[in-house]
Structure 1
Amino acid sequence: MIQNKMYEKLINFFNQKDYDKLIDEYSFLKEKKLVTAFVLNLVGLSYANQNKYQKAIDFISDAIDLDPNFPDPYNNIAIVYYSIKEYSLAKDNFLKCLELNNNHFQAAYGLANTYKMTQEFKLAIKYYNQSINLDRNFYPSWIQKIRTQSQICDWNQNEKDVEFLCKNLKDKSFDPYLSLFMINDSALQFKIAKLYVENKYKNNEYSFNLSRNINKKIKIGYFSSDFMNHATMHLMKKMFIKHNHDKFDIYCYSYGKKKDEVTEEIKKSITNFKDISNKSDDDLIVYLRDQKIDIAIDLKGFCSENKFFIFSRKIAPIQVSYLGYPGTTGANFIDYIIADNVLINEENRKFFSEKIIFMPDSYQVNDDGKKISNIKLSREDYGLPKDTFVFCCFNKIAKIHKTEFDTWLNILKKSAKSILWLLSENDIAINNLKKYAKKNGVDPNRIIFSSKQKLDVHLARHRLADLFLDTFTCNAHTTASDALWAELPIITKSGNTFASRVASSLLTSLGLDELITYNIKDYENLAINLSENKNKLNTINNKLKKNKLSMSLFNTLKFTRNIENAYSIIYDKYSKNERTADIKVDKVKI
């Protein structure tokens, strides 16, 4: 009974993330010689949650030494090894946990994640299945299994798995990020996000004692884990510099662990760059509220390595979702989402919990100084035939579904002198796509794969392709603006969701509506027509080159002034204590 009470106290401290009290309690128990393997394991976990990995390893190792037959410490030390990328040690300990308890669904899940990281995808799927069989309501296993199957283009099983998750949307939901890639239905995406938020986050009605003086400088806080070499920063980093610092105080709050040359570049260009990655959850909330931010911009949503919980705890009177997560958050603590009238139209407006900030052109900011390498490249450098029409898609391979690939194969069949150029990510996916092509009557040698390259060289190699073919459920986003910046036309099929309409937004803002289709037949016909009609393609190429310079998509300063106009409008509403409402931003004259 005493031991149960002791455990209860420790568990409460752990669940409340009150790690200092937990350590104090451990010291008291140690003095009384009441320390057990359970206690050592929990102390180790508390250090792991604070990213103090060596201390975590020390305590959990002591737990294992004290009771070698207790399965949980093996699982937990494996999680720590996974966190520090010691994947071999992680595998050994997950396997030991399963040896002691073959019903440990979390160890099966952890082992699957580890195999995924080492690109042993078939083993990863095996252990995701084991975890699911042990607990069908443990949705993280379903999510990661679907993502892994997407990475290797295992489409048939994915359709069944997504169908299972969607049919069981009652009291529980799953990570909404997955829905962006798998579901072309705004109503369903909204339902998934709303239910997920209601289950995971408690809304905190915190009152802000901030000045509502309309004449003061407005303090803007951008939040992300991606202040590094990442697609979001490729788009945004110049905007931070272009902000009007006489009217706005710009702060960047970085909670990502990874830092690189882009991090350093941003830190040099931004006076107020705050690294908040090592703060505990509660300390972080106190710190951020003390920062007295007027408008907090979440650049992550439900993307990996997010800290969406900070917005549920209210860190600013105005909270906005932008760019990183292309869809509704379903959260009543996010006041606005930045979009445009192509992404969110009258039909799907009702499936957004946020009020909409409609930008005058595309919602997407771009860096108009993005460098394209001057390196001389040839088709031979990439194994591309000289005298063929090159269709390409440089999206992540996980965005390619059976529907897209079937469409592309039909295009190749009807456009005899053409090839398809894709990015390679793993050999299993390459083999699966080539096998599928052969089975469906297309020579697999007509599908050519290339590896990733530095951004400036990657942009330069776009010149070797003739036409970019977009994916459907989740379009090319940064990848689309990269293609257009490199002056490569892209054809898209506009869908029913934010994520499936991004390329349409970009093309519309460049006056290239003729490259937008609304069904697969028209998409196919347009691709074939452009591959056979050189004059028509040349006309589009020339229009792209001209409009790229004259229209607003690639004008960072103009976009920055427009978004600042939006910030001023929503702050004005707040300062006058007016209710939030959709706003349409007028173009600012420069």
Structure 2
Amino acid sequence: MNRQQRRAAAKQGPGPVGLATGGANPSHEKVSALFGAAVAHQRSGRLAEAERICRQILEIEPNHSDAHHCLGVLAFQVGRCDIAAAFIANAIALKGDEPTMHSNLGNALKGLGKLDEAIASYRRAIALRADFADAYSNLGNALGDQGRPDDAIESYRRALAINPRFVDAHKNLGNALLKQGKLSEAAASYAKALALNPNAADAHNNLGVTLKDWGKLDEAAASYRKALAINPDYVDARINLGNLFREREDPDGAVVSYRQALAIEPNNLDAHHNLATALGDQCKFGEAIESYRFVLAREPNLAEAHNNLANVLKHQGRLDAALESYERVIALKPDFAGAHGNLLLTQHYADGISNAELLAAARRFGDQFDRKAEGEVFSNDRSLGRRLRIGYVSGDFQQHPVGFLLARVLEAHDRAAFEIFCYANSTNVDHVTERLKKAADHWRSIVGVSDADAEAMIKRDRIDILVDLSGHTAKSRLLLFTRRPAPVQASWLGYFGTTGLRSIDYLVMDEATVPAGEERWFTEAVVRLPYGRFCYAPPEYAPDPVDPPSLKRGYVTFGSFNNVAKIGAGVISLWAAVLQATPGSRLLLKWKSFDNEGVRRRFGDAFRAAGVVEERLELRGFSPHREMLAQYGDIDIALDPFPFGGGLTSCEALWMGAPVATLPGDRPASRQTIGFLNLLGLSDCVAHSPTEYVSCATALAADSDRLMALRHSLRRRMTASPLCDGARFTPTLETAFRQMWNRWRAGEPAASFEAQGMGERNPAEAA
């Protein structure tokens, strides 16, 4: 999960400083002429010459208030806010109440972080001059810095009511609205600024940020490029363009853009940080780590950099180091939700983590982020048997495990009994997205939408049951659920453990994944579906299975296409034992991280240390999905890792005709494949000990006739089973939804239960 990109948007600044062109108390014409020259130099940017002249004036007339003011403005312009505040305070003491001086004193005090005093200065300026638009805009900046966004917006609007052509106020209003997630209003403000000044590069840049958050990526790219056409050295725009390339899953374009930013500002930490992230996307892990360490050497406590460094360590399979780094992030920034999620996800990969430890980490997340129950009263219609409104929330409505495991469910939902809403948290659209859109009744984008606004949207839709499909994975919106936008809330499909949130009422699982008595490891009530918790929709482009490769090669090839983070020391040792027990056999591992030479070398060394010589191990990197599926034709038997087994990966192996040997443990992530195998009548591929795991794998390897039969029958078996039959699977999920709803209707708390199997679409409801 890489959800903490540092965005370098243009920063709001103070309104224009003002200097009178005539001295308030000149002693003679020479001083007046000198002051006029100083103002001219200040306005043309010749600050040193302006300062020299002002000091010359003070030698002649020490109490010249405008010269003191001018020196304060000059000091502010070079970042010396302390000196600026002193000079401007002197000017006010000498001249009395002058609105511009009070406003500029506010700018200096704001620069010193003295927000209360700055706000008082701006308010004094406004009291002296009610139509002082600059002071209202500057007041808005200070209020925003003080964490008062609504007051800041009101102040900008007052400035614009006085001066509708005030470009900076339009831009600052846009910035404030953008921070609140009010994207359409922010875009409108930037558009007004650009109508007044088409060459405002910062407005083009920030409009691009708004459009990107809105999911309008092409328009965002055009805005960034307009900013760069005006100012080719605009580093923020180059960084933001790189961020957009990453959003489009184009790390090559992102790297180019970040490097262009660094050519302009070699020490820009935002550019180094985001470059590191893009290098990680390219599996250039060594370079990525080097860039993160460059950033951390200068900002040792930057939580986002520690988090993303941990992501790279995880992609390398270095789980202990990754977990240590995530813990450091949480210590630095306890409210960093993404780091909590990354830690929880990585704990599921790691061996030696107990269910008790998983639960404790999840509860820590819940304790940090669950909102205090406020006795929310919902007005949802409680009529018996009415059509329920189901809302699915995910950032993965695309070619992703969630997309492949949801499509047939959406298509099979009983539209007479359920109205389906999908809340999409991703700008990515592909053929799976289009399929899901067609299957849903309503499609809503929540990309860039604040949790508060998404909550309001869901309440307007009158959702009865809101279903999280992400858990602690990328693009999760779990914090939205803490706002309790729906009366019943559940988590299903995209995660394999407890969320830790009291605001999630139910976790949808099955008997294989969560056996009876294991509910104690979950903060949610556990609902068990009778046919498993997945319904797989294989892609139409999946090639037909081919004969087991051992028939031609004369030796058996085992394989795993699982994430390298799942392949720990215990897995390597056991897989080496499988190879040693199967003379002449080979092992093929495939995952995108194997595109990295360092990862290949590390895993190669680990297998050699376990007794597997180089020629018996093949490591392959990324391939497009269709090509990856075809490469199952290069293995005879799939090996499931542990303690985190395959989900979609096991479904794909079975669909391509490769039986999967699995070793389930006591945590849900290790028990995903067992459910598939039981449904398909392959319970003999389920081991209950490491020794039995080796026996399962070697027994399959020794039975070439069975391998051939399975290769050409597994797809037919899957098609006929609830694993791929949405018409059989979906009613069980709908029954579970009805039971959840009935408990809420009756005022009963959430409680674990077993959902019914095949039966009526609309089971009788309790009164």
Per the normalisation by structure 1, the TM-score is 0.83
What is the distance in 2 between the residues matched to 1:538 and 1:407? 25
1:262-301 matches, within 5 Å, as 262-277=432-447, 279-301=449-471
Q: How does 1:134-283 map to 2 (within 5 A)?
A: 138-153=302-317, 155=318, 158-163=319-324, 165=326, 172=334, 174-175=340-341, 176-182=344-350, 184-200=353-369, 202-203=371-372, 205=374, 206-277=376-447, 279-283=449-453
AA at the equivalent of 1:317 = P
| Change beyond 3 A, Cα 1:573–1:400 | same
Deviation at residue 433 of structure 1 after TM alignment? 2.6
Question: Which residue number corresponds to residue 51 of structure 1?
Answer: 212
1:78 to 239, 244, 252: 239
Alignment pair present for 1:402 and 2:538: no
Give the superposed CA RMSD: 4.0
Quick check: 1:532 aligned with 2:702? yes
More RCO (CA 8 Å, sep 6+)? 1
SS at match of 1:99: coil
Q: 1:54 to 1:341 in 2, by over 3 A?
A: same
Find 1:583's aligned residue among 742, 749, 753. 753
Distance 1:559 1:287 in 2: 30
Query: Is residue 359–residue 562 contact of structure 1 (8 Å, CA) maintained in 2?
Result: yes
Deviation per CA, 1:134-186, whole angstroms, max 9, x where unpaired?
A: 66665544443333233334x3xx32442565699879473223323235422
Q: What is the CA-CA distance between 1:299 and the residue it aligns to?
A: 0.8
Choose which of 130, 145, 149 in structure 2 pairs with 1:11. Answer: 145
1:89 aligned partner? 257
- Give the residue type in structure 1 aligned to 2:239: A
Name the larger-Rg structure: 2
For 1:188-587, what aligned pairs fall within 5 Å after superposition?
188-200=357-369, 202-203=371-372, 205=374, 206-277=376-447, 279-346=449-516, 348-367=518-537, 372-374=542-544, 386-425=553-592, 426-428=595-597, 429-438=599-608, 440-450=610-620, 455=625, 458-459=628-629, 461-534=631-704, 548=718, 551-587=721-757
The 3-state SS of whatever aligns with 1:476 is coil
Distance 1:550 1:399 in 2: 30
Equivalent AA in structure 1 for residue 526 of structure 2: I
CA distance in 1, matches of 2:741, 2:411: 21
Question: Is residue 2 from structure 1 mapped to residue 136 from structure 2 by the alignment?
Answer: no
Number of aligned residue pairs: 572
**Does the residue aligned with 1:363 lie in a helix, a strand or coil?**
coil
In the alignment, does 2:285 pair up with 1:121?
yes
- For the residues of structure 2 that align with 1:405 and 1:584, how far apart are their CA atoms? 37
Structure-2 change in CA distance of 1:16 and 1:198 (3 Å):
farther
SS at match of 1:416: coil
Return the alpha-carbon distance in structure 2 between the equivalents of residues 485 and 377 of structure 1.
Answer: 13
Deviates more, 1:429-438 or 1:496-505: 429-438
In structure 1, stretches of 5+ residues that fail to align are none
- Worse-superposed segment, 209-218 or 47-56: 47-56
Give, in whole Å, the separation in 1 of the partners of 2:586 and 2:696: 16
Q: Spell out, residue by residue over 1:284-327, the C-alpha distance to the aligned partner (whole angstroms, 9 max, x if none).
A: 32222100011111111221122222212222111110111211
Please say if residues 548 and 633 of structure 2, whose CA atoms lie closer than 8 Å, have aligned partners that are also in contact.
no
Q: In structure 2, what is the Cα distance between the partners aligned to 1:548 and 1:141? A: 44
Would you say the 8 A contact 1:204–1:313 is kept in 2? no
Per-residue deviation, 1:438: 4.0
Q: Does the aligned pair in 1 maintain the 2:310–2:326 contact within 8 Å?
A: no
- CA deviation after TM superposition for structure 1 residue 229, in Å: 1.7
The aligned amino acid for 2:494 is G
Q: Is the 8 A contact 1:169 1:192 kept in 2?
A: no
Code of the aligned partner of 1:304: A
Question: Which string of whole-angstrom CA distances, capped at 9 and with x for unpartnered residues, describes residues 163-214 of structure 1?
Answer: 5656998794732233232354222222222222433453564432111112
Q: Is the 8 A contact 1:220 1:250 kept in 2?
A: yes
Structure 1 residue 506: Cα displacement: 2.2
CA contact (8 A) 2:156 2:172 kept: no
Moved more, 26-35 or 577-586: 26-35
Are 1:143 and 1:178, in contact at CA under 8 Å, matched by a contact in 2?
no
Tell me the amino acid that sits aligned with residue 477 of structure 1: G
- CA distance in 1: counterparts of 2:238 and 2:759, whole angstroms: 58
Alpha-carbon distance between aligned partners in 2 of 1:460 and 1:406, rounded to the nearest angstrom: 28
How far did 1:566 drift?
0.5
Structure 2: runs of 5+ lacking an equivalent = 1-104, 111-117, 119-138, 179-201, 214-219, 247-253, 761-767
CA contact (8 A) 1:203 1:313 kept: no
Q: Which moved more, 1:543-552 or 1:258-267?
A: 543-552
Change (3 A) 1:369 1:420: closer
The CA distance in 2 between the partners of 1:348 and 1:536, in whole Å, is 35
Q: Tell which deviates more after alignment, 110-119 or 530-539.
A: 530-539
CA deviations on 1:470-493 (whole Å, 9 max, x unpaired) are 111321101111222333211112
1:53-68 alignment runs, 5 A limit:
53=220
1:320–1:334: 8 Å Cα contact kept in structure 2?
yes
* CA shift digits 1:23-59 (9 cap, x unpaired): 6488689988999x99999886975366365698599
SS of equivalent residue, structure 1 residue 128: helix
Q: Secondary structure of the residue that 2:641 maps to in structure 1?
A: coil
Counterpart pick for 1:110 among 247, 252, 274: 274
SS in 2 for 1:191: helix
The farther-off stretch of 504-513 and 214-223 is 504-513
Aligned partners of 2:569 and 2:258: how far apart in 1? 34
1:461 deviation in Å?
4.5
When residues 408 and 109 of structure 1 are mapped into structure 2, their CA distance, relative to the original with a 3 A threshold, is same
Q: What displacement does 1:514 show?
A: 2.4
Aligned ranges 1:32-51 → 2 under 5 Å: 48=209, 51=212
**Mapped contact 1:40–1:60 kept (Cα < 8 A):** no
Residue 383 of structure 2 aligns to which amino acid in structure 1?
N
Give a deviation string over 1:107-130, Cα, whole Å, max 9, x none.
654342132134321021123345
Is contact 2:392-2:469 (8 Å) kept?
yes
2:489 and 2:505 in contact (8 A); partners too: yes
**Residues 87 and 114, structure 1, Cα contact 8 Å, conserved in 2:** yes
1:18 to partner: Cα distance: 9.1
* TM-score, structure 2 normalization: 0.65
1:349, distance to aligned residue in structure 2 (A): 2.0
Q: What secondary structure sits across from 1:214 in the alignment?
A: coil
**In the superposition, relative to structure 1, how do residues 534 and 331 fare at CA in structure 2: closer, same or farther (>3 Å)?**
same
**Compared CA separation, residues 245 and 497, structure 1 to 2 (3 A):** same
Deviates more, 1:158-167 or 1:555-564: 158-167
2:473 alignment partner, SS class: coil
